[in-house]
Structure 1
Amino acid sequence: MSEFDPVILIHGAWQGSWAWARFAPCLEAAGFMTHAVDLPGNGADGSDPATVTFEACLQHVHETVDVLDRPVSLIGHSGGGLLITAFAERWPASVSRLVYIAGMMLPGGESFEEIVKLVITEHPQAAGIWPHLVWSKDGRTSRVPAEAAVSFFLQDCPEEDAAAAAARLTPQGEGGRAVTTPATAGRYGRIPRLYVEALEDRSVILPVQRAMQARAPGALVVSMPTGHAPQFSAPAGLARAIMPFLAASLLAKTNPDCLNCESPI
């Protein structure tokens, strides 16, 4: 068993566990145990994405963590950031570290759409992928056209790789995405956080990422010169950026006087 806390990888909207296939081996080579989650309704479990709720996604992550019976580090990409915040708020004793990769790191009770509205007047491109989504007739699910996925999520990937990833995206239910979540100082706020900025992100643009950091302060920050999915376009570089922070949880456990140790980033 690894000395490091297990790492739970939570994908963003329209994705699946496959989004971590390049990144997870980089962590595992350094001795970390990883678990990439497939959230309900993303095509892996056969459930209708229109019926999936945020609570169902949260409980699914909890079932994964509960089996391990030890604290974990949670990494959330994009919309997966909502889930890691909600998980840490509800089960703080089960979480040692939180990592947001171009993620939705929101203060309690605020939505991502509210953050975008704060930024969009000065930065019209803050709308990101939103204007390009294709909606079901009832508005309960959305999908990302392949061309838009390549342009907004994967522009820094080789053309063939980007096309292959875009083809794997699945419809996303609004019930599992458009939410707010509590985030209190005494629960979620006591857990060390790292925010990974994607400097060339066209979906969650940098001014939006920084607005979230300002409204939910307290996270360490590292920057990656990538688009929205560095775990796909630059997996080794992303692992190098994150591993010192993840490893700091072991330092905190082995040094009783260092319970709030920060990483050497």
Structure 2
Amino acid sequence: MLIHGAWQGAWAFAAWTPLLAARGWVPHAVDLPGNGWGATADAPADLARYTQQVVDVIDGIGEPVVVLGHSGGGITASQVAEALPDRVLAVVYLAGMMLPSGLSYGELVRDAAAEAPGEDFAGITPYLEWNASRSHSRVRPDGALRCFVHDCDAAAARDAVGLLRPQPETGRDMRNHLSAERFGRVPRLYVECSDDRSVLPALQRRMQRLSPGAQRLVLDVGHVPQLAQPALLTALLCPALEMLVPSRSPSSSPSQEMP
């Protein structure tokens, strides 16, 4: 299960899914409600609806899955693990927002800035433009090129920037509600992106300290490794994931693809 971040859609994983399929996985990328894509493009957006959208897809699959959240999609990934701890084999955070229960990403940034005056944790924020009611934000193209896709192929970067859509604030300023009994028993992997200009590496490491227990992998890449370096991401993540959930390893069931 591949869950996109803010301003994006299922298209954000298009360059990576063929490599996952070649590895033996069956990737399912979802369009979250209210994010401008798919059948629920204009639906209300919030964490409960995001979670239900993913749960519905998992129900349709009918077997356990690995859930991956990129960037802000990490919040939804965590909540799905809380909802379905017996059906989520593992959660992967791809430069993802792995937040403790009750803490928003904005609060995480403010706390980090208070502890390190003078350091810049703003990421994409200076490049956001808002509608009159401030209910939706959009990313300026120059900001997307600088913070999201600066290390991607130039043509692919331009294409990705052109696909960004306005993001409902109700689907961005979110807080998890997690328990040790449910979320806490699901294995986790954190893919830290050391050249990330959006979810800055210092913030990625802060989230790992605040939510300990995730296995850490590091890529020297920017915010969207699934576009910038999909082969490198596959080579790093898949073996670690297959060791974490060995019952789903391609070598253990060579004739069966994995969701």
Same fold (TM over 0.5): yes
Q: Does 1:193 align with 2:209?
A: no
Letter of the aligned partner of 1:125 in structure 2? D
Counterpart CA distance in 1 for 2:201 and 2:17 is 25
Q: Would the aligned equivalents of 2:32 and 2:40 in 1 still touch at CA under 8 Å? A: no
How far has the Cα of 1:164 moved from its partner? 1.3
| Alignment partner of 2:47 out of 31, 36, 54 | 54
Counterpart CA distance in 2 for 1:239 and 1:11 is 17
Q: Does 1:237 align with 2:232?
A: yes
How far has the Cα of 1:56 moved from its partner? 1.4
Residue by residue over 1:44-94, the C-alpha shift from the partner in whole angstroms, topping out at 9 and shown as x without a partner, is 236565832221111111110000111100010000000010111121111
How far has the Cα of 1:117 moved from its partner? 1.4
Match of 1:3 in 2: none
How far has the Cα of 1:34 moved from its partner? 0.8
How far has the Cα of 1:156 moved from its partner? 0.6
5+ residue gaps, structure 1: 1-7, 255-265
Residues 46 and 139 of structure 1: is their aligned pair in 2 closer, same or farther, counting only changes over 3 Å?
farther
What TM-score, normalized to structure 1? 0.89
How far has the Cα of 1:110 moved from its partner? 0.9
Counterpart CA distance in 2 for 1:250 and 1:217 is 19
Match of 1:27 in 2: 20
Counterpart CA distance in 2 for 1:208 and 1:146 is 23
Match of 1:93 in 2: 86
Moved more, 233-242 or 115-124: 115-124
| Alignment partner of 1:126 out of 118, 121, 125 | 121
Match of 1:36 in 2: 29
Q: Would the aligned equivalents of 2:10 and 2:30 in 1 still touch at CA under 8 Å? A: yes
5+ residue gaps, structure 2: 250-259
Q: Would the aligned equivalents of 1:26 and 1:239 in 2 still touch at CA under 8 Å? A: yes
| Alignment partner of 1:154 out of 112, 133, 149 | 149
How far has the Cα of 1:200 moved from its partner? 0.6
Q: Does 1:228 align with 2:228?
A: no
How far has the Cα of 1:41 moved from its partner? 1.7
Q: Would the aligned equivalents of 2:130 and 2:138 in 1 still touch at CA under 8 Å? A: yes
Length, aligned pairs only? 247
Match of 1:257 in 2: none
Q: Would the aligned equivalents of 1:125 and 1:205 in 2 still touch at CA under 8 Å? A: no
What TM-score, normalized to structure 2? 0.91
How far has the Cα of 1:192 moved from its partner? 0.8
Please give the secondary structure, in 1, of the residue aligned with 2:180: coil
Q: Percent identity?
A: 42
Q: Would the aligned equivalents of 2:4 and 2:10 in 1 still touch at CA under 8 Å? A: yes
Please give the secondary structure, in 1, of the residue aligned with 2:222: coil
Letter of the aligned partner of 1:144 in structure 2? V
